[in-house]
Structure 1
């Protein structure tokens, strides 16, 4: 019983009922002129369905009254956009005509079923029927009173059932086409890729800054030297400032701010990374060959982040060890190679999100990455990125 009564406690049940009544307004206007003209109203209604903007009007109504969603919701159940193809226009025409037919039937039953219930009660008491009733009762019998609740129960079923029916039709006829579903899927994919890229940016930039800060603070405490502590604080300040710039830029993207934000660093700014790693105590030797300034922006920016993550891993997992960085631009490719001695207690390749991020960055640019021991006792991060 509770399940049967539950729909009548929901606002959307009555808004669907109202939505069907609104469909009868148009032919009802013609009834005041001539009843025959009411049937001719389907022709201008069909013509209206061919107007692209009619799909927007019907979509807004359907979202508000049939589903309870706001018109600006991101849901793709019911589209609020002009008809882009003739197939969309045809579906809108079918929707308008179906809504008119169902709405007319529901409006008639909404009026006639209560009238029938009253007629049954009058007939049970020996009274006469009203002139507006479509159903004529034979005689006056007492048991008509037992039947009087049935029209009201039928009306309740009509209200709930017609609302569910018109909602299903709306999802079918006003829902997205195959092309619109594909476009929404592509947009969603782009959003997920952008979120993944931002997550990698934050991991690389903030992770590097925190690693440098932790290493520098620990080294300054162990050195117990005012001069070394001053250098460590300077390195922490510079690295933290760079991380704040990256954070501000990423937050600007997330907020879609109109104000300009700092541009993403490229491999031409690699000296900043090397200086930060050296200030942390690592012995970093660097060799750059080829024209770095000719590397395309996207490749250079991702190369910077890959080099940043590789140096962060050295500081985090290997400590103050000699590290060799080789960056080469030749034969239409950018090659980054970072090597450092592998501690005895870190013989197995790492499986953290940083190394996975390096491989993902390389794959997105059509390149390849190798991370792990090189067989000679060193840990190697080698990435090759095409310049095309």
Structure 2
């Protein structure tokens, strides 16, 4: 009693209807419609038409069901055209068989009902001799052919849906293209998640540290400086958030809006404002770094400094940024506190490792002689 059972039956009857039109024109040369369907199957748009029709009538969820396994796209290769031709021929043949079974099965039920009423059915499937009487017991046989027709309709509907998935389904090239598109979407989502984690996480960590330090200091002058740092950091975080939201809305952000290592002074200034002594050494021409390296380098440095504040507090930090002719080296080293000041177990280090790996670089982080040392190296060969 499902809707799709009857829409599949309608789909099969379309083939019977096509043959019926030809038989109305000519009762011979039945190979002509078969050849015509073969020629039509070679037209690229025919696969699109058949895919739409198959989704609409064969899928339980209609033509919008992208998970039906039926492709709605023109033929791109000769293999696609061949599969479309085979589909049209099988659809015609199965539709003809379904039509014959349905018509003759229902005719048998009608003939049995006529016999049960004492009449004589006309020529048909039973082909009884004239004058053959009836009997009330014929009425008991009436539902059997009808039930057989229904069972055949359900089975043939399942068969035509299976054939549609096999013959109108995506080709190998289309499956690869869909997989690549899905991978690109996942990579973009991961990149946006890292952007939010790095920028917003850095701003919130700094704001929390400043608020706690201002409350503990009890100095109006220190509180004013802390509020100024929180304001500046919050403004930068809002800019980052707006840029990420533009990406989520599939709008192209203005070029050059993502921060680069040329803006590293802002990170170091915010760390100093949080009360951490910073020993920074920047060597090389950061402005000449390739855009992807400079942007990812900034995010690595930002996350490293955020982790210092989150897990160690305002401890002494040593920062080394070296831009050489063939690589970029980043190093952040800080004292290890007796007890951590923030929660651990986040995805920060994993995200940093992924950023470095995407550019063919290496990354390491861990305790080193009573200090925590983070290193990242990114080669520049082939990125300029």
1:26 positional shift: 2.3
1:4 equivalent in structure 2: none
Contact 2:58 2:161 survives alignment (8 Å): yes
2:36 equivalent in structure 1: 44
1:75 positional shift: 3.1
1:385 positional shift: 0.7
1:146 equivalent in structure 2: 140
Deviation string for 1:131-165 (max 9, x for gaps)? 5x333135334243322111110111011111100
Matched, 1:25 2:17: yes
Aligned partner (choices 164, 174, 180) of residue 168 of structure 2 = 174
Aligned partner (choices 283, 287, 302) of residue 289 of structure 1 = 283
TM-score normalised by structure 2 residue count? 0.93
Residues 1:250 and 1:79: Cα distance change in structure 2 (over 3 Å): same
Aligned partner (choices 255, 258, 262) of residue 268 of structure 1 = 262
Matched, 1:136 2:127: yes
Deviates more, 1:111-120 or 1:54-63: 111-120
1:106 equivalent in structure 2: 98
1:14 positional shift: 1.2
Aligned pairs for 1:68-87 within 5 A:
68-75=60-67, 77-87=69-79
2:379 equivalent in structure 1: 386
Q: Distance in 2 between matches of 1:216 and 1:383?
A: 28
1:86 positional shift: 0.8
Deviation string for 1:290-312 (max 9, x for gaps)? 11112111111111100000000
Contact 2:332 2:374 survives alignment (8 Å): yes
Residues 1:260 and 1:24: Cα distance change in structure 2 (over 3 Å): farther
Deviates more, 1:309-318 or 1:189-198: 189-198
Q: Distance in 2 between matches of 1:339 and 1:350?
A: 18
Contact 1:245 1:262 survives alignment (8 Å): no
Q: Distance in 2 between matches of 1:193 and 1:17?
A: 43
Aligned partner (choices 102, 117, 121) of residue 125 of structure 1 = 117
Deviation string for 1:81-138 (max 9, x for gaps)? 111111111110010011111111112222222221010121233312135x333135
SS of 1:285's partner is: strand
Contact 2:119 2:134 survives alignment (8 Å): no
Aligned pairs for 1:1-388 within 5 A:
8=1, 10-75=2-67, 77-131=69-123, 133-138=124-129, 139-142=132-135, 143-257=137-251, 260=254, 263-346=257-340, 351-375=345-369, 377-388=370-381
Q: Distance in 2 between matches of 1:111 and 1:171?
A: 28
SS of 2:314's partner is: coil
1:384 positional shift: 0.5
Q: Distance in 1 between matches of 2:310 and 2:10?
A: 65
1:257 positional shift: 2.7
In structure 1, runs of 5+ residues without a counterpart are: 1-7
1:283 positional shift: 1.4
1:172 positional shift: 0.6
Q: Distance in 1 between matches of 2:118 and 2:67?
A: 56
Aligned pair count?
377
SS of 1:75's partner is: helix
Residues 1:367 and 1:74: Cα distance change in structure 2 (over 3 Å): farther
Q: Distance in 2 between matches of 1:59 and 1:102?
A: 17
Contact 2:261 2:294 survives alignment (8 Å): yes
Q: Distance in 2 between matches of 1:109 and 1:151?
A: 10
Deviates more, 1:92-101 or 1:10-19: 10-19
Deviates more, 1:291-300 or 1:64-73: 64-73
SS of 1:345's partner is: coil
1:5 equivalent in structure 2: none
Q: Distance in 2 between matches of 1:141 and 1:186?
A: 69
SS of 1:112's partner is: helix
Q: Distance in 1 between matches of 2:326 and 2:253?
A: 36
Alpha-carbon RMSD across the aligned residues, in angstroms, is 2.0
SS of 1:79's partner is: coil
Contact 1:204 1:309 survives alignment (8 Å): yes
Q: Distance in 2 between matches of 1:252 and 1:69?
A: 33
1:332 positional shift: 0.7
TM-score normalised by structure 1 residue count? 0.92
